[in-house]
Amino acid sequence: MKFAIQINSAPWAGEGCDTAYQFIRAALGLGHEIVRVFFYYEGAYHGMRRMSPPEDELPALRRWSELAAGQGIDLVVCISAAQRRGLLDQTEDGRAVKLEEEVAEGFRIAGLGLWVEACLKADRFLAFGG
């Protein structure tokens, strides 16, 4: 089965993103496909390269990059959600610059169209966190 996943909570808030991560691991383990993981609302705080939590909290952030590298999962942070939260450097005309430099390994920044596309491609859409 093909799953589209949406993550709505920040990495430090609640267990929504933990549950999502465990679900994805379990689904892949059973041979299912993850079409895309889309980070929206407070989920946009995921994958920001410059986050620097204490060393012992880092694994929770790095595991997404490891998932992308190991399983080829498409991790997409919503550009409008990230811009609202001041997570992207912007030029004077308001456009975000150098997006690939803002996000951690394995993440990319894109628009809501990719969320719709993932929903249309998947058999099931699941949202986690808030």
Q: Which residues bind another protein (CB under 8 A)?
A: 40-41, 80-81, 84, 111-113, 115-117, 119-120, 125, 127
Q: What are the phi and psi torsion angles at 71 (to 5°)?
A: -115, -5
Q: Which is nearer to another protein, 68 or 81 (CB)?
A: 81
Q: Which is nearer to another protein, 7 or 81 (CB)?
A: 81
In the complex, least distance from residue 74 CB atom to another protein, rounded to whole angstroms: 18
Quick check: 50 and 18 in contact, CB under 8 A?
no
Is 78 among the residues known to form the active site?
yes
In the complex, least distance from residue 56 CB atom to another protein, rounded to whole angstroms: 31
Q: Specify the DSSP class assigned to residue 30.
A: T
Select which of 7, 24, 73, 78 is catalytic. 78
Q: Which is nearer to another protein, 23 or 125 (CB)?
A: 125
Q: Which residues contact 37 (CB under 8 A, 6 or more apart)?
A: 5, 6, 7, 20, 24, 64, 73, 74, 75, 76
Q: Which is nearer to another protein, 78 or 104 (CB)?
A: 78
> In whole angstroms, what is the distance from residue 34 CA to residue 89 CA?
30
**Residue 88 Cα distances to 36, 62, 63, 116, angstroms:** 22, 20, 22, 23
Catalytic residues: 78
